[in-house]
Amino acid sequence: MTRGFREKLGEGGCGSVYKGKLRSGHDVAVKLLNKTRANGQEFINEVATIGRIHHVNVVKLVGYCAERSKRALVYDFMPNGSLEKYLFSKETSNWLSLARKFEIAIGVARGIEYLHIGCNIQILHFDIKPHNILLDDNFTPKISDFGLAKSYSMENTTVTLTAVRGTIGYVAPELMNRSIGRVSYKADVYSFGMLLMEMLGLNRCTRHNDNKSSQYFPYWIYDHLNEGNDIEIGNADKNDYDDDDDDDDNARKMRRKMTIVGLWCIQMSPTDRPSMSEVLKMLQGEIENLQIPPQPSQLPDIEYLNDRNWDTESTGSMSLLCNDSLTDQ
């Protein structure tokens, strides 16, 4: 299928991905899992969850291989790769217009909403990030990598985990400090909010702002919004404006809308975050109806992240899975 694993598409913590072709001529991506994963839990998670899902914004599992120690997952091939390369690569970081990013955000939100309430079970992804958002030939986003996902009854409002799971920078705070709140689908909402911030470049922008470099980035955003200023994100914004004043106004509205929704999603307390259905309503509604969420009164303790040695447990180099003894500290 891969002609001897000839064309490598990428590599992550769980294994390598190769381009393949079925006998029908259909292009696929083959993820060959590392042999070191003896318990096969990630493989089981992937097949058990994504195998029953059919949604335009979720990547399609074509098939799988489980032969002795070999574990492989076969997906539809996504010609435009992952969202990650359009956010972090110098060569392609300016390829996506703000309008395209907004469409991608809407698609990802729809996919997460489907996982939460669209199936006969509740599926929590726990690893929403740019690396796991794949783009087809029309740049339609597809949520991928369900290795850390968990399935629950629709009646469950909170969930029980025996380990912290997610990716540093996108993982919800309650997953690492249970005193913040109970773990629920709101963990995916938080990750989506951080995804919006990354798509706008807001958290990266503070690193290049000498006056605000030491300020926690949501506070910097609040300062600008409360002063009535537009949120500018450097050179990437040049592609969003042209000589048409109406287009400029639409771009500002989209950016402001994504910013405010992102702030709602990354509220420290899970109870203060909206559901994904509410997120979609806000993104698709009028900007005039959006209210800026209350500004946090104190800075959350996030420095402890840098002091821990996290184990890699997903496709991204910064993904983590640690034992439950850390989660109640």
Residues carrying an active site annotation: 127
- Structure-token pair, residue 50: 């994504």
Phi, psi of 104 (to 5 degrees): -65, -40
In the chain, what are the helix, strand and coil shares in percent, each to the nearest 5?
Answer: 40, 15, 45
CA nearest neighbour of 232 among 264, 204, 213, 192: 204
Specify whether the CB–CB gap between 292 and 271 falls below 8 A: no
Burial class (CB in 10 A: 0-12, 13-18, 19+), 165: buried
CA nearest neighbour of 265 among 191, 170, 193, 195: 193
